[in-house]
Amino acid sequence: MKRTVFIIGLGLIGGSIALAIKKEHDVHIRGFDISFEQAKVAMSLKVIDESVLSLQEGVEGADLIIFATPVLKTEQLLEELIQYNLKTGAIVTDVGSTKVRIVNKAKGLQQKNVTFIGGHPMAGSHKSGVEAARSHLFENAFYILTPGQGSDVRSVIQLQNWLKGTKAKFIELSPEQHDRLAGAISHFPHVIAASLVHQIAKIEGEDPLVSRLAAGGFRDITRIASASPAMWRDILLHNKDSLLDLLDSWTEEMQSVRNLIEQESADAIFTYFEQAKQFRDGLPARKKGAIPSFYDLFVDVPDHPGAISDVTGILAQHQISLTNIRILETREDIMGVLRLTFRTEDDRERAQIHLKQELYDTYVL
């Protein structure tokens, strides 16, 4: 008899985990989503084998239960889960970006003879919905596991075996350590990006020209501010303590920078940026992290009719998919620049090889 996996939340993450599990295991996958249409699409794409109408129906006899829902919703559903009959020895996990509150909420499951292990696959996409689900979404990404105190080591190993089709790199952290680190490298940068956008929006009230000037580099460095407002509302409320500490540290950091500028400390300002550059340049360039990477390739194109379609035609000829294309500059008699965005590093490298063979100048920033 096939083992059963139940996935709650059939979006990009839930769908991708389902596909990764199906790739490695002969299982029956049930799925539940508050959107009937989303569940219907998941069935039609064979992401799941069965769509159920309630949490209670889905957990019946399930060997593995995965919450791929927003963090506040996961917290609510864990309370509901405690009411139902769960299979002895079942493993319950989630994919949320915060862990402390969820792991604490899951302590009630101990009385049900099941094991809860918090999870956070640190990968994503600029697309959403189950239609964008891919079994390789988490390949080479960090997948954080946060077992609660007293968790059976064997259950952690079993969960990794369940998820081996993701080809992710598993790391075990305490829930507190996860929230502190995720706050610093993911949650807080989203706050900064949104704040920068708010600052420009206020300036626009005084000088509308600012939005036109911000269409280039500023728009690029604040891309993450376009993420789901509902998701980030929930994450900030869930990781309140870590973010308040980070905001205090940031206030001190900005005061230090302010002092350097006020005092016109040229050497100190140079050192400040030099140290930041050295640390940033030393970060792993080809690792997947908490914020989805943008695999951009810049291509110089001549001011000539058909140049852009020629570039996209070369990519299509070699079956290389684009996730985005943007014209950065096209002025008469001046070489234009295309920014091509790819799903993976491999796609970008292949594109660069084939475009160079066709005499296009390409570069990566």
One domain for residues 139 and 275: no
Domain of 58 in residue numbering reads as 3-173
Token pair 């954080």 is at which residue? 144
One domain for residues 59 and 151: yes
- Distance CA(4)–CA(222), nearest Å, equals 41
One domain for residues 212 and 319: no
pLDDT digits (tens, 9 = 90+) for 31-42: 999 998 999 999
Domain of residue 334, CATH code:
3.30.2130.10
Q: Averaged over 323-334, what is the pLDDT? A: 61
The model carries a pTM of 0.76
The answer to whether residue 157 is domain-embedded is: yes
**Of 24, 31, 20, 19, nearest in space to 55 by CA:** 31
What integer best gives the mean pLDDT of the chain? 88
One domain for residues 205 and 328: no
One domain for residues 64 and 151: yes
Q: Sign of the C-alpha dihedral, residues 33, 162, 228, 223?
A: negative
One domain for residues 263 and 185: yes
The answer to whether residue 97 is domain-embedded is: yes
pLDDT digits (tens, 9 = 90+) for 139-165: 888 999 999 877 788 899 999 999 999
- Distance CA(254)–CA(272), nearest Å, equals 12
Higher pLDDT, 328 or 166: 166
User: Of 153, 173, 193, which residue sits at a domain end?
Assistant: 173
Number of domains in the chain: 3
One domain for residues 348 and 224: no
Domain of residue 184, CATH code:
1.10.3660.10
One domain for residues 11 and 58: yes
- Is the pLDDT confidence value at 329 over 60? no
Phi-psi region of 89 (alpha: psi -120 to 50; beta: other; left: phi over 0): left
What was the pLDDT predicted at 112? 85
- Six-digit token string for 64: 């593995």
Domain of residue 30, CATH code:
3.40.50.720
What was the pLDDT predicted at 222? 86
pLDDT digits (tens, 9 = 90+) for 165-209: 999 999 999 999 999 999 999 999 999 999 999 999 999 888 888
One domain for residues 207 and 127: no
Q: Is 150 helix (H, G, I), strand (E, B) or coil?
A: coil
Mention every residue, 6+ apart, whose C-beta is less than 8 A from residue 82: 108, 109, 111, 112
Q: Which H helix or E strand runs over 336?
A: strand 334-342
- Six-digit token string for 363: 């570069």
One domain for residues 107 and 236: no
